[in-house]
Amino acid sequence: MSKEIKTEAPTASLKRDTINLSQINGIPAHEEKVVEYIKKSFKGISGLKFERDGLGSLAIIKKGTKVNASVISFTAHMDEVGFMITKIEKNGFIKFTPIGGWWGHVVLGKLLTITTQTGKEFVGVVGSKAPHLLETKERVTVMDIKNMHLDIGTKSQKEVAKLGIQVGDMLTPTNEHAYEVANDRVIAKAHDDRAAVAVGMEIIRKLTKIKHEATVIFVASTQEEVGLRGARTSAYKWTPDIGFAIDVTIAHDTPGIEPRDTVLGSGVALSLFDRSVIANKALVRKMESVAKEYKIPYTFDSLTAGGTDSGAIHLTKEGVINMTLSIPSRYIHSHNSMIDLKDLQATVDLVINFIKDFKTEDLNKLVFK
């Protein structure tokens, strides 16, 4: 039996990357700062190859010990949900549209950061018609984002233009800090899916010190929040034999929702299905057996709404053996979501143990015949 790698408390590097990545601003197709952070983090580490695809997804490739070995990839998306400026009004107010999924209730009254083409940042508050002026019907419905505006204090189009702000500039939730709270939990923006990017980085970091047969590829994908686009192009370019997506999922431990096993601190969630994919059943059982062998905490997860990069990965070329590994999260797609660092560590430990024990012949147990 191979030497056991036990699940540990979150490593300092995993915690650091989770916090730092959450603070980077980057909506779909605007993820270059994330790419810069990842590359800088691995500067000087030998044995890794970096490549990009046509949409901008980043791959870190780590060769194994076997020639013509199986290829295992794990994909986490770099982008966060945000907004884009669509119009600058004559009176200096700014209109915007969602890039990714937003619910009006979590937008109104919040702060957004404008990032200009030259990298300058300006903070504004999301406003609308004053509640005192709303009709009764309007008060009891969720306000449409198209009826909101961003107020940065300017008085005219000309004043906005002097600041270098243009139509097409990105808007992201304003969070000056990531907040470390009780029980190894962190509140921040963009945990969807930067927490999983941190997991991917930690996996690669550990693999530089472990022998493994397979070629391993970590893909930090682009544009997931607007249609799994980077996963589609990256899976085509670096087509794996086995491809995991790593993403957040709903933590079923807050008041008012149906309780389930997948909660903060419950470990890595093995996703059975979502609206975009049904997991390869043999791979699910394999990951379950690895979790049991190494005493890694895990649950099973499913989503009837929402999808992950697996939706694109498993449909690549003639089909890819695939599943999603999920990280429980509270308050997804808002200014402040919460994750438990121990769940991230459990995800790292599961993937590392799977890869280090994987033999090329094991692939035959997962392939349809």
Q: pLDDT category, 76, cuts 50, 70, 90?
A: very high
- Which among 300, 304, 274 has a CA at the least distance from the CA of 287? 300
Give yes or no for residue 135 having a pLDDT over 90. Answer: no
Q: pLDDT category, 7, cuts 50, 70, 90?
A: low
Name which residue leads in pLDDT, 2 or 152.
152
Known catalytic residue at 224: yes
Domains of the chain, CATH where assigned = 12-80+189-365 (3.40.630.10), 82-173 (2.40.30.40)
Give yes or no for residue 349 having a pLDDT over 80. Answer: yes
Instruction: State mean pLDDT over 126-130.
Output: 88
Asked whether the beta carbons of 80 and 26 are under 8 A apart, the reply is yes
Q: What is the pLDDT of residue 132?
A: 77
CA separation (Å) from 211 to 2, 64, 355?
11, 7, 9
* Six-digit token string for 200: 């991917």
User: Which tens digits make up the pLDDT trace of 179-220?
Assistant: 999 999 999 999 999 999 999 999 999 999 999 999 999 999
Q: What is the pLDDT of residue 2?
A: 44
Distance CA 171, CA 164 (A): 14
Q: What is the pLDDT of residue 115?
A: 98
Q: pLDDT category, 137, cuts 50, 70, 90?
A: confident
Q: What is the pLDDT of residue 134?
A: 76
Q: What is the pLDDT of residue 1?
A: 38
CA separation (Å) from 196 to 193, 242, 315?
5, 18, 22
Distance CA 71, CA 213 (A): 9
Active-site entry in 31, 213, 224, 225: 224
Q: What is the pLDDT of residue 328?
A: 97
* Six-digit token string for 269: 């969630």
Give yes or no for residue 18 having a pLDDT over 60. Answer: yes
Asked whether the beta carbons of 188 and 340 are under 8 A apart, the reply is no
Mean pLDDT of the chain, nearest integer: 94
**Strand 277-278, strand 268-274: pairing:** antiparallel
Instruction: State mean pLDDT over 263-281.
Output: 96
Give yes or no for residue 20 having a pLDDT over 80. Answer: yes
Give yes or no for residue 33 having a pLDDT over 90. Answer: yes
Q: What is the pLDDT of residue 8?
A: 67
User: Which tens digits make up the pLDDT trace of 41-61?
Assistant: 999 999 999 999 999 999 999
User: Which tens digits make up the pLDDT trace of 293-324?
Assistant: 999 999 999 988 889 999 999 999 999 999 99
The rounded radius of gyration (Å) of the Cα atoms in the chain is: 21
Q: Which residues pair with 72 in a beta bridge?
A: 216, 242
Asked whether the beta carbons of 130 and 44 are under 8 A apart, the reply is no
249-282 burial, b for 16+ CB within 10 Å, e for fewer? bbbbbeeeeeebebbbbbbbbbbbbbebbebbee
pLDDT above 70 coverage of the chain, percent: 98
Q: pLDDT category, 284, cuts 50, 70, 90?
A: very high
